[in-house]
Structure formats: C-alpha cells, structure tokens
Amino acid sequence: MSGAPAPSTSSAVAVRVEDLGMVYPGGVRALEGVDLEVRDGEFLAVLGLSGSGKSTLLRCINRLVNPTEGKVWIFGDEITALSGGDLRSVRRRVAMIFQQFNLVRRHTVLNNVLSGSLGRARLLPSLMLTFPQSERDRARANLARVGLEDRASSRADALSGGQQQRVAVARALMQEPRLILADEPVASLDPALRHSVMRHIEALNREEGLTVICSLHDIDLVERYATRLVALRAGRVVWEGLPQQFDRTTFKEIYGEDAEPASNTGF
Amino acid sequence: MAAGWRKGLARLQSIGIDAVLIATLILMVELLVVAFSGRRGATGLLLTAEQILDLLNYVWAAVAGIILAGSWNLFYRTLGASPGRALVRGVPEWESELEWTQTLRGWFTAIFIEFTFFAGWLITELDLYDFLTKFGKAADIVRGLAHPSASVLHEGLVLLVQTIFLAFMATAFAIPVAFVLAFPSARNLTRGTFLSRTAYTVSRTFMNFVRAVEPLVWALIFISWVGIGPFAGVLALWVHSVAALTKLYSEQIESIDTGPMDAITATGAGTLQVLRFGVVPQVVPPFLSFTIYRWDINVRMSTIIGFVGGGGIGYILKPRVDLGEWGEVGTLVLLIAGTVWLMDIISAKIRERIV
C-alpha cells in the first residue's frame, strides 16, 4: 500500500469498516480484508475496474448485501450487528444513489421523492401512497433544489436520465441523511450531463457537510470532486490517498499495466 | 475421493439411461411381434392393445436392457459412446465429426424413433380404414350442428349469461388470493430468512398440487359440497384460477427489476413498504393482463364444468348430447363458440392496451 495517510483532521468518524469480506453464494469473492475509515464531511471516491468490488463495498455499508466477514460502523452504530427496526433506523440516515437511478418508473416524480421518507412514515397511509402535507411540502422543496419542481406530477419514466438521477438525489434528500452512498451515480448519463448531477452531490458535501462515499471511474470527476480516494483491485484496497497524489504510476497500479487513462486531460 | 465418487455416479447414470432406452426398444419390438403374430385371446378375437401390453415380458426386457447397456458402456471405445454416455458426459471428441450413420448411437436413435411410431400406432389403435370409411354415423351430428334449432335458443342465451358471470366471479374472487400468495411463491423475494424459504416451499407445493387436480375433479368435489348448480362451478373454477394465477403472478414477480426494491430498502423502509413501492408498481399491469386472459379461459372451462353439474350452458348441453338432439346441440355449440371468439378479441385488445 502506498500514498499518504488520511488527512489529520480531528472530526468524528462517519464510517468505519473493519476486515470486511464478502463471498457471494456460488463462491465468487467480491471483497477481502477491507479496512477503511471515512471521516465526517469527507468526499471519498472509490476507484477500481468494474468487478473490483466497488458496488459490493457500498452495498455492504448499508447492508443491501450482507458481508460474510468483518464489521461496519456508521456514526458509532455497528450496522453489521443490527437487524429489523434497528437496522432500518440506521439506514434512514444513509441515503443511496444508484447508477441506474432505480426510481419507481410508473409512479409520479413527487411520489418517488416522497418514498425517501418511508423510513419514518406511518405504515398504513404510506401503503396507500398517502403522505402528510408537511412531507409533501418538503418533497416539493427538495425537487426545487434539484431544479425539477415543475415535473412533480410527471411519471418518473417520462424524464431523461439526468433528470431521473436528480429525482433520485431529491429522494435521498428526503431522508435528511448524514451519509450518502453513491454507486457510479453518473456512469449511465451523457458525459455532458455528468456535472449537473455531481454538482448537487458536491453541494450537499460542501455546504451541508454530508459525508459522501462515491464510486467513480472517470478520473476527471474524481480529481474535481473527491477529497480523498481509495482504490480497489480484486476486492482489496490497493491504494489510498489524496487526489493530488494520484498519478500515472498509481493509475497503472490500480487498473493494471495495460490500462490507459480514458482522457488525457487528467495528467 | 469426491472426483472418483462423482465419476462412478456419472457412469451409473449413463448406464441407467441406456438400460431404460434399450429395454424400451426391446419391448416395442416384442409388441410388434406379438401384434403381427395373429395370436388370439381367450374369446377368439384378435388381442387388443391393452391385452398385448399386459403380455409383454417386462422383467426380461429390463434384465436384457441392463446387460446390454452395461456392455455398451464397458466397450464404448470400440462401439462408440452410448446415448446415455453422450447425454451425461457429452459426445466424445473422436465422434463429434461423424455423421449419424457412422455411429452405433446414431443408428440406435434412428431405430428407436421409428419403433416409437410403430408402437404408438398399435397402442393407440390408429385405424385409417375406420377413419376413411365409417363417417356415416358422425354425419348425423355434423348435419345437426350445421342446422341449429331455434327451440333451445332462449334457454341457451339465459345460461350463456350465467356462464359468463360464473367465469367472472371465479376470476374476481381468485385475484386477491392469488395476489397475496404470489409474493411468498416468488423465488427472488424468499431467499432471505428460513421463514421465507419455508413459505416459498409450502405455497409452491400447495399450488402445484391444486393445479395438478383437474377443474373437473374440483367441480365434482364442490357439487357434493354445495350441491349441483352454478355456485359449485364458481368454486371449482375459483380454486383452479387461484393456483394458475398465483403461478403466473409469481413468475412475473420473479422477472422484475430489483433496482427499485434496493432503492426503497436503502431508505430504511419496512418489508411491506418495499413490496408496495419496489414490486407492486412493476407487476400490476402484467397482472391485469393475465387476469383478463384467465377470465377468457374460465368461460371456456365453465362449459365442461357445466357437463358434470356445475351450472352454466354446459349443464343443458350434456342431456342433449346424450339424447342425440344434434340440432339443439348445434345451437348451444355456436353460442359458446361465438362467446369465446368475442372474449378472445376483447381480451386481446385490452391486453394490448395495458402492457
């Protein structure tokens, strides 16, 4: 392992990952012995080839998949030891943004945003798709933040990819999260639209101090938005450092000798 | 150790398959020999297919099959791979280039298929002569059907309405039950806990059992339960529809995009909320389409259910068939055919719109 240690700020630890390992049923090993500490307010970018375990790492943090080894703490709660209502109440503070947006395509944009408040909604009304006026106001406000207030009553699948991802950001905001996990949030968007989504995530990080863990594969985006990087290769952390320390040698180390940076603006 | 054990099991498997195939071929040959030997039974008549099947030497065929299969598998280097070996371990490399006529396996398969047709012809007692020369009796029926009588039209129309509603009620009552059962019957939703895996096994087993029993049998059960009449028919079709719809619904659930489920789970929502937001919106349109199709099937099935006393138009069709009143039968058949045809068109149109 090379690179510098994490910045020596004294802020609290947001996420701690200890000796995390994941073997999928069927025997594919996705993660092995991952140790990680993410400080409150960091924007941590996770790098690596597809299949290197980035997605699995993010999904282990909020337990969308259950790691087979190791422990994860989120703001002091050991999420790997929780189940049922306790697990859900930790998840409420952790929003997730997905590569494929994962909106409920047949629901309205507003309903999709409101689904971010399901964790604290009352069960029966929420099953009837009824939400209190206060939540509806909040949902509209969050839609306005991502610039989509006029699309509230459109069906989600009527929106373009970039707009859908912004709805997903608004859904994440509904959770009033302290941590955002973003799994390749702009990989399925037109390159020209990537910053429109990344800027919103950046604003949450810079202006509201939310911790962000974001897997990315575009080096330009990493250098522009991240405050720290970790790189995975074959399920292991192979490099950890600051964006300024990332260079051609590190790139080869992470992506292999045959790899070339997709754009030459980064170096 | 494990490898050797697995190899032995594979060898046993291929011998087993070959033994069954060879024994079956031997029995089919024996069947043909007996049939063409002109042997007569105790009554002096030629043997029927059932009697011949009863005469065959099953034990000897099995013994011969096992011995021949064993030797073929033992000497597969000279004889070429047997069908069982080819199935279990794949066609060996040195044979992959050969035409079927160049291998024993090819000839065996060809002869086996030939004899399946010969034996099938005899066992099902196909008789081209009867088929071509004895149309006379059936001509009455066809003539009757072609000249529908108006005398039964009124009663027929009334019962046709009953048939349609019978099918409708059975389908409608089946929807909520199938909807609830579909979730525990979907593999992708029941991988998590021991409880959910048990629910999957129980509901799948139960549904397969219910579906395996013919609606006709359900009708008989419900007729002795609630008496002859359309209610028994509704219940019979209901039970069958629940099973059929559960299967269709759960297969639809198994093919959903799990992304929205992940997203809703990640918000800290509970299981019911995840199903409501992550699953239900994706499956309701196809569910509607299946349900309308099911109603269509139930209209057709209720005719047969009526035959045994389950109400609807089939109920008055049966006595007229028994009495040979072919004109009236013709009227009823035309009514049914017209309805089925109409329902088919309507349901196709609606399904087109929904999906």
Give domain status of residue A160, yes or no. Answer: no
For residue A177, list chain B residues with Cβ-Cβ distance below 8 A.
none
Give domain status of residue B261, yes or no. Answer: yes
pLDDT at A4 exceeding the cut of 60: no
Residue B290: pLDDT band by 50, 70, 90 thresholds?
confident
Instruction: Please answer yes or no on whether B277 and A105 come within 8 Å at the CB atom.
Output: no
The CATH number given to whatever domain includes residue B158 is: 1.10.3720.10
| B227 shares its domain with B339 | yes
Optimal mutation site among A96, A100, A114, A115, interface B, most CBs of chain B within 10 A:
A115
Instruction: Please answer yes or no on whether B260 and A91 come within 8 Å at the CB atom.
Output: no
| B168 shares its domain with B80 | no
| B292 shares its domain with B346 | yes
Residue A261: pLDDT band by 50, 70, 90 thresholds?
low
Give domain status of residue B133, yes or no. Answer: no
* Contact call for residues A181 and A149 (beta carbons, < 8 A): no
| B315 shares its domain with B198 | yes
Task: Pick from A134-138, A195-199, B82-86 the range whose average pLDDT is largest.
Answer: A134-138
- The distance of A178 to chain B (nearest Cα, Å) reads 12
Nearest chain B residue to A61, by CA: B266
Question: Residues in chain A, how many?
Answer: 267
Give domain status of residue B135, yes or no. Answer: no
Give domain status of residue B264, yes or no. Answer: yes
Per mean pLDDT, which range of B10-24, B104-118, B203-217 is the poorest? B203-217
Optimal mutation site among A55, A102, A120, A142, interface B, most CBs of chain B within 10 A:
A102
Which pLDDT value is given to residue A57?
A: 95
B175 Cβ contact partners less than 8 Å away, ≥ 6 residues apart: B245, B291
Please report how many Cα atoms fall inside a 13 Å half-sphere around the Cα of residue B77, on the Cβ side. Answer: 1
Instruction: Please answer yes or no on whether B277 and A104 come within 8 Å at the CB atom.
Output: yes
Tell me if chain B has a CB within 8 Å of the CB of A126. Answer: yes
Give domain status of residue A28, yes or no. Answer: yes
Task: Pick from A7-21, A88-102, A211-225, B330-344 the range whose average pLDDT is largest.
Answer: A88-102
Give domain status of residue B300, yes or no. Answer: yes
Which tens digits make up the pLDDT trace of A112-161? 999 999 998 999 999 999 999 999 999 999 999 999 999 999 999 999 99
| B226 shares its domain with B303 | yes
Pairs of CB atoms within 8 A across A/B: 82
Which pLDDT value is given to residue B1?
A: 53
Nearest chain B residue to A25, by CA: B191
Give domain status of residue A115, yes or no. Answer: no
Give domain status of residue B134, yes or no. Answer: no
Tell me if chain A has a CB within 8 Å of the CB of B212. Answer: no
- Give the domain-ending residue among B126, B159, B185: B126
- The distance of A89 to chain B (nearest Cα, Å) reads 6
| B23 shares its domain with B96 | yes
The CATH number given to whatever domain includes residue A84 is: 3.40.50.300
Residue B95: pLDDT band by 50, 70, 90 thresholds?
confident
Residue B354: pLDDT band by 50, 70, 90 thresholds?
low
Give domain status of residue B317, yes or no. Answer: yes
| B189 shares its domain with B91 | no
Tell me if chain B has a CB within 8 Å of the CB of A168. Answer: yes
Question: Residues in chain B, how many?
Answer: 355
Which pLDDT value is given to residue B350?
A: 80
- Give the domain-ending residue among B77, B93, B126: B126
Domain that holds residue A42: 12-90+216-257
Nearest chain B residue to A183, by CA: B263
Q: How far apart are CA A249 and CA A2, in angstroms?
A: 11
Which tens digits make up the pLDDT trace of B144-182? 888 888 888 899 999 999 999 999 999 999 999 999 999
Which tens digits make up the pLDDT trace of B190-231? 877 788 889 899 999 988 899 888 889 999 999 999 999 999
Domain that holds residue B91: 2-126
Mean pLDDT, chain B, as a whole number? Answer: 89
Say what the ipTM of the complex is.
0.90
Residue A26: pLDDT band by 50, 70, 90 thresholds?
confident
Vertex B250: Cα angle to B277 and B240 (nearest 5): 130
Domain count, chain B: 2
Give domain status of residue A211, yes or no. Answer: no
Domain count, chain A: 1
Which pLDDT value is given to residue B326?
A: 87
Give domain status of residue B131, yes or no. Answer: no
Average confidence (pLDDT) over B135-147? 83
Give domain status of residue A266, yes or no. Answer: no
A127 Cβ contact partners less than 8 Å away, ≥ 6 residues apart: B272, B273, B276
Give domain status of residue A156, yes or no. Answer: no
Q: How far apart are CA B176 and CA B100, in angstroms?
A: 54
- Give the domain-ending residue among B126, B157, B181: B126
Residue owning tokens 């292999």: A256
Nearest chain A residue to B191, by CA: A25
Question: What SS3 class is residue A74?
Answer: strand
Instruction: Please answer yes or no on whether B263 and A95 come within 8 Å at the CB atom.
Output: no
Give domain status of residue A246, yes or no. Answer: yes
Which pLDDT value is given to residue B196?
A: 86
Which pLDDT value is given to residue B355?
A: 58
Tell me if chain B has a CB within 8 Å of the CB of A90. Answer: yes
For residue B263, list chain A residues with Cβ-Cβ distance below 8 A.
96, 98, 102-103, 115, 168, 171
Tell me if chain B has a CB within 8 Å of the CB of A96. Answer: yes
pLDDT at A10 exceeding the cut of 60: no
pLDDT at A264 exceeding the cut of 50: no
Tell me if chain A has a CB within 8 Å of the CB of B272. Answer: yes
| B205 shares its domain with B96 | no
Q: How far apart are CA A146 and CA B194, in angstroms?
A: 42
Return the H-helix or E-strand segment holding A162: helix A161-174
* Contact call for residues B30 and B77 (beta carbons, < 8 A): no
Residue A191: pLDDT band by 50, 70, 90 thresholds?
confident
Give domain status of residue A62, yes or no. Answer: yes
- The distance of B212 to chain A (nearest Cα, Å) reads 33
